[in-house]
């Protein structure tokens, strides 16, 4: 089972906010591990991309200046790619927050389509529930003063 965090931009009262909902799967990302800088560009994680570029430039400088052996540089690059794979969902969530999105919900499903279906069913049910609750609100209180009424 996978866990998806759901992020929307705008108010949950606006139906158009749900049309732009973004689902972020929690866990290891093979795409971020294998294609790190391209994944960072695709998810628009600009600060993480800048950090990755600066790290790669500094590693290349250290190898060129013969301060660091090439095997160590390869090992460090592998560790960076591994960390990027593990922290991909966190980096994507932070990039979404910087763009004005906020987390609305967590959904546990095995596939993205099922997670979307469950999320939208849950939120449409809550909208129907809140609209029926407002139409059947009892205006008489169930208590008199500090004591509950006999029928409550």
Q: Helices then strands (H, E): number in the chain? A: 7, 5
98 located within any domain: yes
Instruction: From residue 148, give the alpha-carbon distance in Å to each of 136, 138, 139.
Output: 21, 15, 15
Strand partners, 2: 109
Task: For residue 14, give its domain range.
Answer: 2-121
Cα-Cα-Cα-Cα torsion 43, 47, 53, 56, nearest 10 degrees, comes to: -100
The pLDDT value given to residue 10: 79
**CA 106, 112, 118, 121 torsion-angle sign:** positive
* Distance, CA of 111 to chain centre: 15
Does residue 36 surpass a pLDDT of 50? yes
132 located within any domain: no
- Report the percentage of the chain scoring pLDDT > 70: 81
**Element spanning 144, H or E:** strand 143-144
148 located within any domain: no
142 located within any domain: no
How many domains does the chain fold into? 1
- Report the percentage of the chain scoring pLDDT > 90: 38
Taking the C-alpha atoms of residue 111 and residue 3, their distance in angstroms, rounded to an integer, is: 9
144 located within any domain: no
Strand partners, 105: 6
103 located within any domain: yes
Taking the C-alpha atoms of residue 58 and residue 119, their distance in angstroms, rounded to an integer, is: 44
For 44-85, write each residue's pLDDT tens digit: 889 999 999 999 999 999 999 989 898 998 999 999 999 999
Between these two residues, 95 and 14, which has the higher pLDDT value?
Answer: 95
Q: Strand locations in 39-123, DSSP E?
A: 101-109
The pTM assigned to this predicted structure is: 0.68
146 located within any domain: no
């Amino acid at each position: 089972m996978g866990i998806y965090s759901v992020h929307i931009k705008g108010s949950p009262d606006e139906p158009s906010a749900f049309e732009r909902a973004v689902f972020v799967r929690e866990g290891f990302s093979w795409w971020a591990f294998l294609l790190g800088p391209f994944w960072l560009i695709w998810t628009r994680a600009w600060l993480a991309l800048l950090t990755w570029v600066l790290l790669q430039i500094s590693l290349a400088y250290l190898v060129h200046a013969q301060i660091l052996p090439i095997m160590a540089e390869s090992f460090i690059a592998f560790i960076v790619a591994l960390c990027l794979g593990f922290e991909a969902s966190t980096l994507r969530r932070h990039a979404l927050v910087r763009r004005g999105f906020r987390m609305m919900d967590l959904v546990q499903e095995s596939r993205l389509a099922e997670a979307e279906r469950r999320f939208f069913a849950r939120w449409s049910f809550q909208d129907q529930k809140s609209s029926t609750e407002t139409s059947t609100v009892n205006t008489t209180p169930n208590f008199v003063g500090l004591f509950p009424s006999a029928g409550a």
